[in-house]
Amino acid sequence: MTLLSTNVFVTASVLETLGFELLEQEGDRVRYQAPGDRATSIDLLDRDVDFGREGAGSIHHVAVRVPDEEQLFEWHKLFREREYDVSRVMDRHFFHSLYVREPGGILFELATEQPGLTADVDLNTLGESLFLPPWLEEDREIIESQLPPLNITPDSEPN
């Protein structure tokens, strides 16, 4: 993933706080590596830019995994102490998460992997119908009406 920050030094500090390690720098590209066995690289571009806006060609947020909900609360406390714009810890049904917007403009989501996608769904039927968390069930009709049709045959890719 490549990030373009208005304050590369603050964004780099957040990456390092999250456990990313500086690997290398080539030109204006600084590469960080996430810890763990499913390591991920993030390239941070060191360029003079204005604050970005959401839309075509941009991403909403970068997700980082944390082991459990208890650690989310520890991260929440740390980011509040450092006066970052941080959300409350949220129950997303399949996982718990919080969001932190750092001064460089990047929105990070810290999320658990548990309980996981099969929390309320049988693994054998996963993906056969639209699953909504309980708080969205009352809006099922409007949500389904806004989705494009999905036709899948055994020999084709979804379209």
CATH at residue 23: 3.10.180.10
Q: Write out pLDDT tens, residues 57-87.
A: 677 788 888 889 999 999 999 999 998 999 9
Per the domain annotation, does 32 fall within a domain? yes
Q: Decide if pLDDT at 154 tops 80.
A: no
Q: Can you list the positions of beta strands (E) in the chain?
A: 2-4, 21-26, 29-33, 41-45, 62-65, 85-86, 90-91, 96-101, 107-111
Per the domain annotation, does 125 fall within a domain? no
Q: Which of 32, 27, 29 is nearest to 42 (CA)?
A: 32
Per the domain annotation, does 120 fall within a domain? no
What integer is the mean pLDDT of 80-106? Answer: 90
Give the pLDDT confidence score for residue 156 in this predicted structure: 56
Where residue 37 falls among pLDDT bands split at 50, 70, 90?
A: confident
Instruction: Give the number of domains in the chain.
Output: 1
Per the domain annotation, does 54 fall within a domain? no
Give the pLDDT confidence score for residue 74 in this predicted structure: 95
Could you tell me the two tokens for 35?
Answer: 């810890």
- CA distance linking residue 21 with residue 15, whole number of Å: 8
Give the pLDDT confidence score for residue 64 in this predicted structure: 87
Give the pLDDT confidence score for residue 39 in this predicted structure: 65
Per the domain annotation, does 77 fall within a domain? yes
In the chain, count H helices and then E strands. 3, 9
Per the domain annotation, does 12 fall within a domain? yes
Contacts 24+ apart (CB under 8 A), 46-52: 46/8, 47/4, 47/8, 49/4, 49/5, 49/6, 50/6, 51/6, 51/105, 52/4, 52/6, 52/105
Where residue 43 falls among pLDDT bands split at 50, 70, 90?
A: very high
Per the domain annotation, does 123 fall within a domain? no
Q: Decide if pLDDT at 157 tops 70.
A: no
Q: Residues 6 or more apart from 129 whose CB is under 8 A from it?
A: none
What integer is the mean pLDDT of 138-159? Answer: 79
Tell me the sheet residues that pair with 38.
none
Give the pLDDT confidence score for residue 119 in this predicted structure: 64
Per the domain annotation, does 137 fall within a domain? no
Q: Could you tell me the residue range of the domain that residue 41 belongs to?
A: 2-47+60-111
Mean pLDDT of the chain: 85
